[in-house]
A and B are shown apart, each in its own frame.
Chain A
Amino acid sequence: MKEEDHIEEKNPIETLLRMDRIPHIWCPGCGIGIVVTSFAEALRKSEIDLDKVAVVSGIGCTGRVAGYIKLDSFHTTHGRAVPFATGLKLANPELKVIVFSGDGDIAGIGGNHFIHAARRNMDIMVICVNNFNYAMTGGQVAATTPTGANASTAPYGNFEYPFSLPYLAEASGATYVARWTALHLRRVTKSIQEALTKRGFSFIEVITPCVTLYARRNRLGDGLNLLKYYYEKSEIQHGADTRTLDISYQGKLIVGKFVDKEKPTFLDCMNEHLAKKLGDKYQPYGVNNG
């Protein structure tokens, strides 16, 4: 074989990954990598200046995403990715700030930050990998675990009511809300692309297989079996009323884009209001961008 035959063609998304950190830590069959691929694909396809994109993660299996994305990236503390992103965005409004983290991180320990960032219409995007459990720590019950599912700290099954994340996001004020599963690769990419062009708080939930913990503990088979479940039970309903999106154990998964509207962002409101109140005394802040 000639030498050049050895040179594999570089996957175009590799330029967006920290290849010097591969192999990654995720289990074989884990769905997080699929979502990262969709994300990188969306960034590649989008027209935005990638030097102005920053990724912030909290802690968890999904929280490791920031460490693999070759952009300005921040691996923060458990639950605090959203307020960290808020500070980053406000300090440098020309940035497009994306939070990429797990369901426990965003809706459990970080739930309060999540609803307040949505309420303020902070101009950030949140991509939430929902694997129905706290994976990194060994598969404990989460705020998103369907009632009846087993988890390491719900050994007799979960008897609590889970959050419906799109409903929570819309009720809190998000201007873009979508839910997909890891099966809907192209849809996830498209949603992220759309959200990249929007200003305001956007939220994308991606239901993702955790094969090692959630699937195994619930005897649901491997990653493929979970994707099969997504295939059989997901139903695209764009514009569905977010009050109808509850997820029951192995039940129907309503996916789609539910909210897509325009509303002034935190900085829009701040600038407009203070300029009105203070007139010439006011020094407009970061007005050209965000």
Chain B
Amino acid sequence: MKKVKADPKGVLTGSHYLDGDYALAEGALAAGCRFFAGYPITPSTETAERFSERIPSVGGVFIQMEDELASISALIGAVWGGKKVMTVTSGPGFSLMMENIGLACMMETPLVIANVQRGGPSTGLPTLTGQQDMMQARWGSHGDYEIIALSPDSPQECFDLTIEAFNLSETFRVPTFVMTDECVGHMHEKVVIPPADKIELVERKWYKGPKDKYLPYKLDKDQIPFMIKAGDDYRFHTTGLTHDERGYPVINAECQDVCVRHLVDKITTNADKIIRTEEEEIDTAEIIVISYGITSRVTTKAVQQARKAGIKVGTIRLITVWPFPEKRIKELAKKVKAFVVPEINYGQIVLEVERCAGGQAPAILVPHCGGGVHDPDDIFSAIKEAAK
């Protein structure tokens, strides 16, 4: 994994007052993203607007496609043309992207998609918040595969985690999602953008060996194959079909086993390197509240109340949601009385907590069906109830 400094052309160094959507675009530009294909959808459109305004003076392409099917297809094409790429969307558009998220996984194409979540299903609540696409991010395309998903809780993190998403997607050659939501997307806060030489980027894993020895899907020591781009005299092939090292389709169970295992294992065996969480007062905790994104900010208030009431509460904020911090939850399940999981959906990440807890400690959902954030009192009540 080669690290390089950011290209100053894309970096708007300074202290700004930005909303989360704009910060996503700035993060992408700082990370070296020079191709953006998108389709407007509330509450994510401002990211596309910002990118389209900024890219002409940075050097790159913005194109508004005819739909989200086209947007993601163009992204994958552009990666194989040599660019770092991003798009942004919300629920309905995310649904349309699912098939080609699978193609990106299969072709091991690094790209970043931000989902500024709104309430669903269907057109749902276009202008109001939700965290209802968390399982879709993990499972939405057909077949077995792994992706990476991060969840920012502020405009500053929209910037920071977009850069991290690019770095992870390049390291593991996998689609990486920034799963934010309407609240964070439209929230204005201070965003500090560091100087370019303080931003470390993972360079694409370019192949440098002899051309005639190149095999598009031959694994390197770190399980990740080398990349090339079109136009460089390799005359290579890649396909969405199950394929061998040459990238040639092989339609049988043996090749499928190798191909699919690799797509999954390259993430699961590196989970410890990928996962980032923020923990507070875990060691003494009886109750642990697990939250992510905007909900973790609301949780803070409920936790303060609970601590005032004498309950020993610890918190885990999921910065990485996928892969899920399975090991850590398993470990903690042996020690705590219960997990409390507030999220703006009717029970998604709580299922994952429950699975990892394996019956050792209950996972208590504090649901919210979308359209707003939790009342901290509801989270507080759940903590009280759990501590009884």
The number of inter-chain residue pairs (CB within 8 angstroms) is: 149
B248/A88 in contact, CB under 8 A = no
User: Which candidate, A142-150, A197-205, A235-243, A280-288, is the interface stretch facing chain B?
Assistant: A280-288
User: Which candidate, A66-74, A133-141, A157-165, is the interface stretch facing chain B?
Assistant: A66-74
B231/A52 in contact, CB under 8 A = yes
B65/A116 in contact, CB under 8 A = yes
B37-80 residues at the A interface, CB under 8 angstroms: 37, 56-61, 63, 65-67, 69-71, 73-80
Q: How far is the CA of A278 from the CA of B69 in the complex (A)?
A: 31
B318-372 residues at the A interface, CB under 8 angstroms: none
Q: How far is the CA of A87 from the CA of B83 in the complex (A)?
A: 9
A88-112 residues at the B interface, CB under 8 angstroms: 88-92, 94-95, 112
Q: Does B194 contact A (CB under 8 A)?
A: no
B81/A89 in contact, CB under 8 A = yes
Q: How far is the CA of A12 from the CA of B61 in the complex (A)?
A: 39
Q: Does B237 contact A (CB under 8 A)?
A: yes
A277 closest partner in B (C-beta): B56
Q: Does B35 contact A (CB under 8 A)?
A: yes
**Which of A73, A84, A285 makes the CB contact (< 8 A) with B61?**
A285
**Which of B73, B74, B75, B241 makes the CB contact (< 8 A) with A75?**
B241
List chain A residues, Cβ under 8 A from B236.
Answer: 72-73
B202-242 residues at the A interface, CB under 8 angstroms: 229-241
B75 closest partner in A (C-beta): A87
A55 closest partner in B (C-beta): B237
Q: How far is the CA of A85 from the CA of B236 in the complex (A)?
A: 16
A59-82 residues at the B interface, CB under 8 angstroms: 66-67, 70-77, 79-80
Q: Does A274 contact B (CB under 8 A)?
A: yes
List chain B residues, Cβ under 8 A from A92.
Answer: 81-83, 229-231
List chain B residues, Cβ under 8 A from A94.
Answer: 231
A274 closest partner in B (C-beta): B56
Q: Does A44 contact B (CB under 8 A)?
A: no
Q: Does B195 contact A (CB under 8 A)?
A: no
A84/B77 in contact, CB under 8 A = yes
Q: Does A51 contact B (CB under 8 A)?
A: yes
B70/A80 in contact, CB under 8 A = yes
**Which of B69, B78, B232 makes the CB contact (< 8 A) with A88?**
B78
A77/B74 in contact, CB under 8 A = no
B230/A113 in contact, CB under 8 A = no
List chain B residues, Cβ under 8 A from A18.
Answer: 237, 248
List chain A residues, Cβ under 8 A from B229.
Answer: 91-92
A contact patch SS? helix
A88/B241 in contact, CB under 8 A = no
List chain B residues, Cβ under 8 A from A51.
Answer: 231-233, 235
Q: Does A188 contact B (CB under 8 A)?
A: no
Q: How far is the CA of A282 from the CA of B55 in the complex (A)?
A: 9
Q: How far is the CA of A52 from the CA of B103 in the complex (A)?
A: 24
B248/A54 in contact, CB under 8 A = no
Total count of chain B residues near the partner, CB < 8 A: 45
A282/B57 in contact, CB under 8 A = yes
Q: How far is the CA of A34 from the CA of B231 in the complex (A)?
A: 26
B71 closest partner in A (C-beta): A83
Q: Does B99 contact A (CB under 8 A)?
A: yes
Q: Does B249 contact A (CB under 8 A)?
A: yes
Indicate whether A282 sits within 8 Å of B56 (C-beta atoms), given known contacts A86-B77, A87-B37, A92-B229: yes
- Please encode chain A, from 252 to 277, with 1 for each CB lying within 8 Å of some chain B CB and 0 for all others: 00000000000000100010001000
A116/B231 in contact, CB under 8 A = no
Q: Does A21 contact B (CB under 8 A)?
A: yes
B230/A88 in contact, CB under 8 A = yes
Q: Does A56 contact B (CB under 8 A)?
A: yes
A94 closest partner in B (C-beta): B231
A91 closest partner in B (C-beta): B81
B57/A281 in contact, CB under 8 A = yes
B67/A112 in contact, CB under 8 A = yes
B231/A75 in contact, CB under 8 A = no
B230/A75 in contact, CB under 8 A = no
List chain B residues, Cβ under 8 A from A270.
Answer: 61
Q: Does B100 contact A (CB under 8 A)?
A: yes
User: Which 9 pairs across A and B sit closest by C-beta, in order of nearness?
Assistant: A91-B81, A87-B77, A87-B74, A283-B59, A75-B239, A92-B81, A87-B78, A88-B77, A91-B78
Identify 9 residue pairs between A and B in the complex whose beta-carbon atoms are under 8 Å apart, listed by A's number: A72-B234, A76-B240, A80-B100, A84-B76, A112-B67, A116-B70, A274-B56, A278-B56, A285-B60
Question: CB within 8 Å of B: which residues of A?
Answer: 18, 20-21, 51-52, 54, 56, 66-67, 70-77, 79-80, 83-92, 94-95, 112-113, 116, 266, 270, 274, 278, 281-283, 285
Question: CB within 8 Å of A: which residues of B?
Answer: 35, 37, 56-61, 63, 65-67, 69-71, 73-83, 85, 99-100, 103, 229-241, 248-249
Contacts beyond the supplied A80-B103, A91-B81, A113-B66: 20 A-B pairs with Cβ under 8 Å? A56-B77, A67-B249, A74-B238, A76-B240, A77-B100, A83-B70, A84-B73, A86-B73, A89-B77, A92-B230, A95-B81, A112-B67, A113-B69, A266-B63, A278-B56, A281-B56, A281-B57, A282-B57, A283-B56, A283-B60
